[in-house]
Amino acid sequence: MMLGFIPITFRFRGKQRKLEDIYYCFREHPDTGLHPTQISRHTGIGFAEVNARLEATPELFVKLPKRPNGITRYRLTSSTTVKSDEEVEEFLAAAARKESLLVYALGTMVICILLIVVILVGPAV
């Protein structure tokens, strides 16, 4: 998603539930590399969205080397595997909160700029 004319994409904000579903899918299939199609079937999330989430969040998911048959599989990163479910949920919530704060900061900056313009142009009118 692009934020207007500013090229900002959100990796966690608004996608926390999907990331949790993908994470739990990997927890249900431990020590197994999963293809995005398999994850899509288990979670009910569309294939394109699953693939985009896997690619966009290397903090959670790692791409395994391709097999000779050309199939790409993913696994949880080592650091994510050793964390508890609550720790991963806290990480996702914190990451989404950081992205939300970025949106609020940008919005505040735009409002302040508009306010400055109004203050400078106001007396001339």
Q: 69 is written with which tokens?
A: 């048959």
Q: How much is the pLDDT for 70? A: 80
Band of pLDDT at residue 37, cut at 50, 70 and 90: very high
Statement: residue 3 has pLDDT above 70: no
* Rounded Cα–Cα distance for residues 62 and 47 (Å): 17
In percent, the amount of the chain with pLDDT more than 70 equals 94
pLDDT digit string, tens, across residues 73-121: 999 999 999 999 999 999 999 999 999 999 899 899 999 999 999 999 9
Whether residue 67 contacts residue 73, with contact meaning beta carbons closer than 8 Å, is answered with: yes
Statement: residue 67 has pLDDT above 80: no
| pTM, to two decimals | 0.83
Q: 16 is written with which tokens?
A: 């926390």
**pLDDT (mean) for 5-28:** 89
* Rounded Cα–Cα distance for residues 89 and 92 (Å): 5
Give the chain's domains with CATH numbers: 16-124 (1.10.10.10)
Q: How much is the pLDDT for 69? A: 80
Phi, psi of 61, deg, nearest 5:
-125, 140
- End-to-end, the C-alpha distance of the chain in Å comes to 39
